[in-house]
Amino acid sequence: MELNREKGVAPLYLQLENVIRMEIESGKYMKGDILPSENDYIEKYNVSRVTTRQAMTALVQGGYIKRFRGIGTVVIYDKINESIEKVISFTEEMKKHNIKMQTTFCKMELICPDTKIAIALGILKDTPCYKLSRVREVDGKPLVYTVTYLRKIVDMPLTSEVYTESLYQLLREKYGIRIARGNDTLEAALPNETIQELLRIKEDMPIFIRTRKTFLPNDEIFEYSICYYPGNRYKYSVDL
């Protein structure tokens, strides 16, 4: 890949930064890998040492790399990895990784579902259900936008502050509702304008969509959730 030197385009250091960042996010260079030297980049892209160092400084500040004397430039960026083992909440998953999470947007509503949601929950269209919308951030960056629909089997408050932490823990401890099992469907897509705004990503950034259904011990559907993750910050792994 060559850098664009036409008039009016982004500065060379910014183009080089984007090239290296994309190589890291795509997995070409993983956490712990040593990047090529400055001289390698200078020769490969025909840029100055100043340009190369500007790009590297930006990547250091962005949390992608770290420089070690006598070793070189080491990748420290890593996607947050969620392992599909059992049904646990996003909050509980982050705690497993010792990651501090913040809920920056939260809205709880009682709605009459459309046909798609009613079918997913196994209820009639005129049967009210709860809709919980949340954006969760890690290190000041949005990691997931979640829309959760819950069957109304108990009366739950519409106060948003109640739902900033683990939903499953709240359901267990306050309402005695326990999730027996779940089913996740995974797919990749491009974000619409709403997702772009909430996750603060560009239109060409792929997103990872996880659609989840959970079931009560009597095998009734209780939850239908759609979770949107920026593809450059999140991954799933499956133990087979």
pLDDT at 86 exceeding the cut of 80: no
Contact 173, 89 (CB under 8 A): no
Interval 178-219: pLDDT, tens = 888 888 888 888 999 999 999 998 888 889 898 999 998 888
CATH class of 80-238: alpha beta
What is the average pLDDT value for the chain, to the nearest integer?
85
Strand ranges for the chain from DSSP E: 65-68, 72-75, 80-84, 101-111, 129-138, 141-151, 181-189, 207-215, 221-230, 234-238
Which DSSP category does 68 fall into?
E
Contact 103, 164 (CB under 8 A): yes
pLDDT at 236 exceeding the cut of 60: no
> How many other C-beta atoms can be found within 10 angstroms of the C-beta atom of residue 7?
4
pLDDT at 90 exceeding the cut of 60: no
Q: In which region does residue 110 sit, left (phi positive, over 0), alpha (psi from -120 to 50) or beta (all else)?
A: beta
Percent of the chain scoring above 70 in pLDDT: 87
> How many other C-beta atoms can be found within 10 angstroms of the C-beta atom of residue 33?
15
Q: What is the pTM of this model?
A: 0.62
Contact 103, 135 (CB under 8 A): yes
Architecture of domain 12-75: Orthogonal Bundle (1.10)
Interval 143-152: pLDDT, tens = 899 999 999 9
Contact 207, 195 (CB under 8 A): yes
Lowest-confidence segment of 8-17, 55-64, 83-92 by average pLDDT: 83-92
pLDDT at 81 exceeding the cut of 80: no
* All structural domains of the chain with their residue ranges: 12-75, 80-238
Lowest-confidence segment of 49-53, 134-138, 184-188 by average pLDDT: 184-188
